[in-house]
Structure 1
């Protein structure tokens, strides 16, 4: 462990020195190890720098607002395909849907009306809504990804209206307190770091003004610590471990949020966007065939501050509930955005999750034993097997690391199963039995599956 931590600390210290960051605070969360923290530099004021020093996290705020929106959906207060005008009294652009606003595909312009980054004055909520009549639609709806602080702000105020409070009140009640993110606040306390712009041609660091974003708050207002944000990143990646009771959000809803709805560019496809979350596929130094690794979270930028908060999913070496937060008191150090990903990868490379010993499991239910083994569909071989209490299937030549399809029987029809994850998610698997009760044919997503390879008109290969 000492060697691993030394490598992580060296990465942090080298980044702080090369990027010239006045204060850098980092935390790494994983379920199988104590929380790891590292701080380098000084706060720029009389307060000492430590793991509990508060930084502005900027657009990482959007991930918390997105969770509030999904809570409303799960509670039946809204539908993702509702127009925002159904939940907010707006003079224009009311047809933009919740889903498109969350995924930055609604086509709204990036910022509220007016040059707020010149005036350093943000509108209040009535002004923000009234000024919607004066803003451009940057793109047609669903045309492509176009990042919008305005869109996430509207969602935050819709949540506030649906819950009967302010966005800040709802956030504290429904996310911060249940997850014990006690250092995450709308306004900084007295121990916060000072944010700087580091001069490009000298080593002088100039303090940046502290902005109150007003009605734009749900998009970028929050302040937090690296320890809080590492826990938040772990929650986004592995909610079943961080929030086992589902007090904040069901794991299935986080699965939905992590599903890519768009890419941020049409050429390289290096980054995707789900429902309020950035998705970054990873390419390990020694990839395992079939394994898929993705970092999920968000970056943040505000005058004087940068942040990068991501959880890691996938890969046999990734421990449960793994998340990393990098918070910096410089608004000009691009290296910060890469450091969280380098730390997550280095921690897994040098200190992978323990290999869990295999233990025998229970026998499959008698009703599904005749399903197990090889089947043929569309001319290709598949293997159906029982593991961890569920029927599963994958292509016979799929790598061992590839996720299988998983099935669950319908409550009142045990011979009809729903595909709950993997290939053909959502489709039905129908079983056909002979007079002795053995499964002799299956239909998955309406395609016929048989024990021998057959043409589509039912001729087996040995009769061709």
Structure 2
């Protein structure tokens, strides 16, 4: 991380000064470079100087960890995402809420547990959290729209813990933190924790904020961590194959599912989407930042990974701030990701000669027509692919895999018409002369829907 470092450092120092952040810690993780970290300011605690090992509260970034625990349970057959809550937890009310709706904040559940937690600063324990469900509201109909709920993720954390037979913190450490080497991420602040502050709007004074223990609401916002750990976590969320190539924590296909937009947070301005526990922040030109923001008394955090464009493998960034009002701090994470790509682009891998297409598919290669539009079928990276002729180069192609027992029937595994079948029709010599993709006919010449060649006299 050399070429972009001066640009990253200047951006971070500018935000720390302009937003008046007592302590700022930032990091960038890349699969093709050494990690980069920077701290600016002071820890605010005696005997614990600010440095890369300083621990900040990450707030709702915790939700991404809880979401991964729930998705692990699904992948291991312990639940289905469309299961009702009461299929796994004994609850006095709201048992009809589904796991999927809770993960995507579309269950209509009220934002916080029963009571004025942010007045009393006393969070419920596990038994109280469940018992009080009879006193909370469904503020919106199921699936009506996005409505953020800390209570929902508290319930998801309880669900994952019960299915695994431990506490949420125990299960998280065993199944996520230890396998990914996130050794500084913990539910407890510890001796390296910085002080969180409320900085006065009208002077340079600041007052310390309390360290609130969230109890049973911990799965929504309890965690503390370093910027380095969080940048690595962000890279995992965006590109798990680069961070966890063996899939020890979660299969890449499952994170693909989690990153698919389930809803938008504003129906008139589609600037943010929400998947299964993940915020999706489009950046234009088929680039999206994936992760979460966090806020707790005295702290703000932004933790995102980058997908698409010229992003190098495993690119993630984190910005952790010891001010509860410095909103420019979490926004900085998006600038760090962009600057990293602009000023230190990924190395260009050389092209090399590969194996030709199998004989069974050579007659498929080339140009085909369907619905009046031209398509190009090709063989790359060991698979049959297709794209609309003239499509932008950064638009991913459709990719096909033959069914195990039917080589002339292929499943679309990625891209356009994912899940649909491509059927090949051959002539007596074995050459493919017609195809049907998602039942639409593909021919070598441009034809009407009744089969007439438009170029014929």
Provide TM-score, normalisation by structure 1.
0.97
Say whether residues 1:346 and 2:335 are aligned partners.
no
> Which blocks of at least 5 consecutive residues in structure 1 are unaligned?
284-290
1:323 aligns with 2:324: no
Shift of 1:255: 0.5
SS of alignment partner, residue 399 of structure 2: strand
Q: Distance in 2 between matches of 1:152 and 1:454?
A: 54
Q: Which residue of 2 aligns with 1:310?
A: 304
1:4 Cα shift?
Answer: 2.3
CA–CA distance in 1 between the matches of 2:443 and 2:270? 38
CA-based RMSD: 0.9
* Structure-to-structure mapping, 1:386-401, within 5 angstroms: 386-401=379-394
SS at match of 1:177: helix
| Structure 2 unaligned blocks of 5 or more | none
- Match in the other structure for 1:105: 106
| TM-score, with structure 2 as normaliser | 0.99
| Local SS of the residue matching 1:462 | coil
- 2: distance between equivalents of 1:3 and 1:80? 44
Partner of 1:177: 178
CA distance in 2, matches of 1:282, 1:233: 16
Residue matched to 2:10: 10
Cα distance in 2 for residues equivalent to 1:385 and 1:81 = 38
Task: Determine if contact 2:109/2:137 at 8 Å carries over to the other structure.
Answer: yes
**Aligned counterpart, 1:30:** 30
- Whether the 8 Å contact between 2:3 and 2:344 is mirrored in structure 1 is no
Whole-Å separation in 1 of the counterparts to 2:371 and 2:102: 39
Give runs of aligned pairs for residues 202-213 of structure 1, distance below 5 A.
202-213=203-214
User: Partner of 1:287 in structure 2?
Assistant: none
Aligned to 1:252: 253
Structure 1 residue aligned with 2:439, among 420, 423, 446? 446
Supply the distance in 2 between the matched residues of 1:132 and 1:463 (Cα, whole angstroms): 71
Does 2:55 correspond to 1:39?
A: no
Distance 1:367 1:152 in 2: 50
Distance 1:427 1:153 in 2: 37
Query: 1:176: Cα distance to partner?
Result: 0.4
Matched ranges for 1:351-370 at <5 A = 351-370=344-363
For each residue in 1:5-48, what CA deviation from the matched residue of structure 2 results, as whole angstroms up to 9, or x when unmatched? 11110110110011010000000000111100010000001210
Q: How many residues matched?
A: 456
Q: Deviations over 1:57-80 (max 9, x none)?
A: 000000000000110111111011
Q: Quote how far apart the aligned CAs of 1:411 are.
A: 1.1
Paired residue for 1:382? 375
TM-fit CA distance, 1:463: 3.3
Instruction: Measure how far apart 1:2 and its partner are.
Output: 4.9
Partner of 1:463: 456
Matched, 1:296 2:290: yes
Q: Distance in 2 between matches of 1:384 and 1:268?
A: 37
Separation in 1 of the partners of 2:98 and 2:427? 49
Report Cα offsets for 1:372-419 as digits up to 9, x if no partner: 100111111100001001111000020111110011111111111111
> Counterparts of 2:216 and 2:137 in 1: how far apart (Å)?
19
Give how far 1:170 is off: 0.6
Residue in 2 aligned with 1:70? 71
Distance 2:192 2:392 in 1: 51
Q: Give the corresponding residue for 1:20.
A: 20
How do 1:96-175 and structure 2 match up within 5 A?
96-175=97-176
Rounded to whole Å, the distance in 1 between the matches of 2:452 and 2:330 is 57
Return structure 1 stretches of 4+ with deviation > 4 angstroms: none
Using the TM superposition, name which of 353-362 and 47-56 deviates more.
Answer: 353-362
Retained in 1: the 8 A contact 2:401–2:413?
A: yes
Aligned residue for 2:69, secondary structure, equals helix
Distance 2:103 2:304 in 1: 18
Q: Cα deviation per residue 1:340-397 (whole Å; 9 max; x = unaligned)?
A: 0001101111111111111111111111111110011111110000100111100002
Distance in 2 between the 1:417 and 1:99 partners? 30
2:430 maps to which of 420, 437, 445: 437
Q: Would the aligned equivalents of 2:320 and 2:330 in 1 still touch at CA under 8 Å?
A: no
Quote how far apart the aligned CAs of 1:3 are.
5.3
Q: Distance in 1 between matches of 2:159 and 2:217?
A: 13
Q: Distance in 2 between matches of 1:79 and 1:212?
A: 31
CA distance in 1, matches of 2:438, 2:85: 35
